[in-house]
Amino acid sequence: NAGVTQTPKFQVLKTGQSMTLQCAQDMNHEYMSWYRQDPGMGLRLIHYSVGAGITDQGEVPNGYNVSRSTTEDFPLRLLSAAPSQTSVYFCASSNGPGYTFGSGTRLTVV
């Protein structure tokens, strides 16, 4: 049982480039979320999904897109990377109440 798998673990992007952070879970969880962690700010919700085909914005959605075509996958797309998006990104899934988190993607935008 792999849990929540995030790829890649590390990524360096140039300003203006686009990329997709992958997230997959094998626990048949309905709820999935993307968070970013920045020093002194805890984890902030980027986007959220309550099931396949249903997504919603979180606290800091600007510059990011998501889709949920299957229960298992919830990719996060950076449309045009900016240095302010340098962060550690976590994907999580749940059937309630506690979420299971992936190990994170450390993204640096130069």
Partner 1 sequence: DQQVKQNSPSLSVQEGRISILNCDYTNSMFDYFLWYKKYPAEGPTFLISISSIKDKNEDGRFTVFLNKSAKHLSLHIVPSQPGDSAVYFCAAAETSGSRLTFGEGTQLTVNP
Among residues 22, 27, 31, 82, the one that binds partner 1 under rule CB under 8 A: 31
- The one-letter code for the residue type at 64 is Y
Q: Is the distance from CB of 66 to CB of 85 less than 8 angstroms?
A: no
* 47, 49, 55, 58 alpha-carbon torsion, rounded to 10°: -30
Task: Write the binding mask 33 to 52 for partner 1: x where contact by CB under 8 A, - elsewhere.
Answer: x-x----xxxxxx--x----
Residues 72-91 that bind partner 1 (CB under 8 A): 90
Smaller CB separation from partner 1, 35 or 85? 35
Cα end-to-end span (Å), the chain: 36
25 binds partner 1 (CB under 8 A): no
CB 105 within 8 A of CB 92: no
> Looking at 1, 2, 28, 98, which residue binds partner 1 (CB under 8 A)?
98
Q: Looking at beta carbons only, is 1 or 97 nearer to partner 1?
A: 97
Asked if residue 34 lies in contact with residue 94, where contact means CB atoms within 8 angstroms, the answer is no
- Site for partner 1, rule CB under 8 A: 4, 30-31, 33, 35, 40-45, 48, 56, 58-59, 90, 92, 94-104
